[in-house]
Amino acid sequence: MMRRMKRAVFLDRDGVLNRTYVHEDGKTHPPASSEEMEVLPGVSEACQALREAGFLLIVVSNQPDVARGTQSRTVVEAINAKLRRHITVDEIRVCYHDSQDQCACRKPKPGLLLEAAGAWGIDIIGSFIIGDRATDIEAGQKAGCKAVLINAAPREAKRCRPDFQAASLSEAVEWILSAHRPAIQVSQ
């Protein structure tokens, strides 16, 4: 029996779909609450364009503040629920571990992407990841998909070799849709 393989765009959450915040330590942090969560301009339209082109949209997000005890899983889930009210995604997968946990799902490891690919029947080679950090790009490349770096600080851009670098999600989506139109793919 022939079945059609699906293609996906894996999306990092913070800094790609929603605004991040710079704290006193000079580092970017996710929103602290669902009230603070703000979808970035153009995100809804960009995601809709990908859906109309036939891509699954899977959010893959590291949320180590839960393991560190500075954020609760309940708040992360509330932020994700609010995000889903603004954009349509097929699934949100979250790694709640910290680096020292050495789990397979924490980016730059490809576990979140590979698990989603298995669950959804995704053609990983024909899929993409869009992220704002080198760890996102590395996870995508380890999984076997094309990687797009957006909104990246210069130090992040130097740490990786994305297939494309864009200033925004809209620009990344434009590149995906113009250069990589989904084709019908069949597998046995």
pLDDT in the model for residue 3: 59
Domain ranges, ordered by start, for the chain = 3-182
pLDDT in the model for residue 25: 81
Instruction: Tell me which of 5 and 45 has the higher pLDDT.
Output: 45
Whether the pLDDT of residue 180 is over 80: the answer is: no
pLDDT in the model for residue 30: 93
pLDDT in the model for residue 152: 74
Place of tokens 């915040």: 21
Categorize the per-residue pLDDT at 145 as very low, low, confident or very high, splitting at 50, 70 and 90: very high
Residues labelled catalytic? 12, 14
pLDDT in the model for residue 186: 41
CA–CA distance, 35 with 18 (Å, rounded to integer): 12
For the chain, percent of residues with pLDDT exceeding 90:
79
pLDDT in the model for residue 139: 98
pLDDT in the model for residue 181: 62
87-106 pLDDT tens trace: 999 999 999 999 889 899 99
User: What integer is the mean pLDDT of 104-110?
Assistant: 96
CA–CA distance, 116 with 131 (Å, rounded to integer): 17
Whether the pLDDT of residue 184 is over 50: the answer is: no
**Residue in 115, 98, 95, 108 with CA at minimum distance from that of residue 139:** 108
CA–CA distance, 114 with 136 (Å, rounded to integer): 13
**Residue in 129, 168, 134, 171 with CA at minimum distance from that of residue 146:** 129
CATH top-level class of 3-182: alpha beta
User: What integer is the mean pLDDT of 146-166?
Assistant: 88
pLDDT in the model for residue 5: 78
